[in-house]
Amino acid sequence: MDIYVDEIKYEENTLKCHAEADISEMTGASRMIVDSDNMSFIYLLDDGDAFQRLHFVKETWSMLKDYKDSEIVVNGEVGLTDFWEEMDYLLENIVDNNNYGKEFETAVREQFGL
């Protein structure tokens, strides 16, 4: 299942994300991937049976950059463990890597100042 973060607010040293899905029974899987065609960083959530994909689309990237290393909580209940470690790993791998596509790499470089 694809779940999209549609709002992010920074409050109390936390990035509080909202998604239009019931994720109350899910936990953070401590893994991230990308969907370079759709300009999205994806954090994997575990529902006990399978991974669900939580998308951070390009419009959310500025908040991720501005509040890097803050705790991230979705719908007030699910913490995204190891998010920043995974994000840093992806950012390092995207730069100068044609496997992600030129458009995605360029967008990441511009948004994250790489």
No. of H helices and E strands in the chain?
3, 7
pLDDT of residue 1: 87
* pLDDT tens for the 114 residues of the chain, in order: 899 999 999 999 999 999 999 999 999 999 999 999 999 999 999 999 999 999 999 999 999 999 999 999 999 999 999 999 999 999 999 988 889 999 999 999 999 988
CB-based contacts of 93: which residues, under 8 Å, 6+ apart? none
What is the rounded distance in angstroms from the CA atom of residue 24 to the CA atom of residue 98?
Answer: 37
Element (H, E) at 104: helix 102-112
pTM: 0.94
Element (H, E) at 65: helix 61-66
- For the chain, the domains span 2-112
